Structure 1
């Protein structure tokens, strides 16, 4: 019995001395519960909206103030013309536009009825529906407050209109997200084991004594996988178009360029993981577990980022998948050109250069 107790004690010592085991045992559950608890929500908070107020009278201003005072919406822009609505949506910052009709107050008092058009960006159908329901709730509450003091009730009519996805097809949301996840995980996993494989097979020494420079080794590892990942991307786009009837409103050439850029970014991230991992198993675990949860939860694929806590919103900025999903939805559903997605494109280019640079630096350290 003493031997058994001594053996168990020894195992405890081994576990407590191994920081990786302790992180898996205690760190991962804490991280996962925090991510799932804060990121997974059907509610919306601080959604950016714009206002087009044709009437610009006391009642419309009162309604706008009530909407602005709620925790659900942030009014970031006032539009003067209906022609500006499309460009506002294409920029991607605004998720909804409230369009108050001409002579709103006059119609409400004289005709006992006035209309507000609720235009929502339905590239994310769930968020669009939620936004419309929340606005309706605020309008109904205001209407009830006003009707308490009068005998003949006012009626504020809301006219929801879903932009870019009037039928609210969920496939319009899932195809860009699934395409991003597949390209991200497959590309990162393929390259994450490339350098660690060299170490385990004993061929790393050949690379160390060869005249090939570290940068050439890194690029050489990434280059073959670009073609394989591009084939994956082509298959996904073709299936999306012909099987799921996903529209491509924008340029196919721009879509191809952005897809290749994202693939290179994901491959560079995989190489970075490979340079900091000692074994293929560790590299696979980091690339699979370390990337899958953030890509699904923090990229805006399923859950709106604006509803997450501020720290998670900042973390989401460091995830390449977030920017690629914005690009995909812009090109495929909104038909935008490079002038509307140049910021996201520059961010992906910057991330790619950063990942490659860190990989080269880490590789140099291993040469010493």
Structure 2
């Protein structure tokens, strides 16, 4: 009798797992039938990583500049060639008349100009010093500041290469080192941010919509009275988006590495593990939203508006959190994307291990437990 009872229990568990698997397969069929949903899941991450990596960047490249060369000597010619060889500048005009520069700025033809005085080479040879003037279009102060800094560094490097062994009095040499991102590429900052934003929005929005859609169609009541545990039904709807999100992670990392040339300095296994943890946080949040709403419009509104704006503003990948007022800094702590953004930068860019991100990992684990707990509780209430 005891063996018969154990056999019946095992058969019941096997049937439950089989039903759970069938629900997962059913959800995959729903996703693959809806091409718009499939595009959102797999196409949007690729589009966003390309846009953010190439278009939305804080770098300034190929800025057109003008030269007022009143010296026309060998040294000034070498300096112009070195500036033009940089990927940040593109020579647009060279003239000896300073008055012609204003017209170029007014037309928007150039962003910056360098004025070389007539006695430039003579001053360098006889007095160990030379003067240059940089004129920038400050209608966009950020671009003007960036280009001025770029040009100043190029001129400084040129002077050092010109007289490498000569000690120049009253000259302070500044040795600048850019750690983790020597070329100051914007993609190093945007890739982690895009990963956080895409995974949060896709997982949260699609999970919320798929559950609410069942409610609107009247299928949820049928599913809830089926023999399988209602919690397993909800989890079965989340599993396909977990697997598709892992594909998105792989796509983003491949594009980042091979197209945007962003290195993966840390452990790839740790990066995937942290990404899966963040996906689970997002799925739990999506289930919680679906439990609190009864229409796809409401779920879409909460997922896009309520989650998108805080993710962009408080995750730290566009606006520095340190520059915000203290109350907003406190608010940023409840945004899951903030913690995942820190983790990805620490592991992917800085090459750190779990000891460097254990606090952020713990925060995400707490959020995942909280979201799934509240979502399950909400669904249990709806069953009553």
Give TM-score scaled by structure 1 length: 0.57
Q: Report the equivalent of 1:108.
A: none
Shift of 1:210: 2.6
Which residue of 337, 344, 350 maps to 1:328? 344
- Asked if 1:258 corresponds to 2:274, the answer is yes
- Aligned residues of 1:192 and 1:270 also touching (Cα < 8 A): yes
Shift of 1:282: 0.6
Shift of 1:217: 2.9
Q: Report the equivalent of 1:301.
A: 317
Q: Report the equivalent of 1:317.
A: 333
Q: Report the equivalent of 1:274.
A: 290
Shift of 1:225: 1.1
Q: Report the equivalent of 1:238.
A: 254
- Write 1 or 2 for the structure with the bigger share of strand: 1
Q: Provide the C-alpha distance between the structure 1 equivalents of 2:320 and 2:175, rounded to a whole number of angstroms.
A: 23
Q: Provide the C-alpha distance between the structure 2 equivalents of 1:356 and 1:189, rounded to a whole number of angstroms.
A: 15
- Aligned residues of 2:238 and 2:283 also touching (Cα < 8 A): yes
Q: Provide the C-alpha distance between the structure 2 equivalents of 1:287 and 1:154, rounded to a whole number of angstroms.
A: 59
- Aligned residues of 1:187 and 1:270 also touching (Cα < 8 A): yes
Q: Provide the C-alpha distance between the structure 2 equivalents of 1:212 and 1:275, rounded to a whole number of angstroms.
A: 19
| Two-structure CA RMSD over aligned residues (Å) | 2.2
Which residue of 199, 214, 228 maps to 1:212? 228
Q: Secondary structure of the residue that 1:159 maps to in structure 2?
A: coil
Which residue of 173, 178, 183 maps to 2:194? 178
1:1-368 aligned at under 5 Å gives the runs 158-368=174-384
Shift of 1:263: 1.0
Q: Provide the C-alpha distance between the structure 2 equivalents of 1:167 and 1:265, rounded to a whole number of angstroms.
A: 34
Q: Secondary structure of the residue that 1:163 maps to in structure 2?
A: coil
Q: Provide the C-alpha distance between the structure 1 equivalents of 2:195 and 2:376, rounded to a whole number of angstroms.
A: 28
- Aligned residues of 1:298 and 1:322 also touching (Cα < 8 A): yes
Shift of 1:338: 0.6
Q: Secondary structure of the residue that 1:244 maps to in structure 2?
A: coil
- Aligned residues of 1:218 and 1:359 also touching (Cα < 8 A): no
- Aligned residues of 2:224 and 2:230 also touching (Cα < 8 A): no
Gaps of 5+ in 2: 1-57, 59-141, 150-168
Distance 1:353 1:267, change over 3 A: same
Shift of 1:156: 6.3
Q: Provide the C-alpha distance between the structure 2 equivalents of 1:280 and 1:359, rounded to a whole number of angstroms.
A: 17
Q: How many residues align?
A: 221
Give TM-score scaled by structure 2 length: 0.55
Shift of 1:155: 7.2
Q: Report the equivalent of 2:154.
A: none
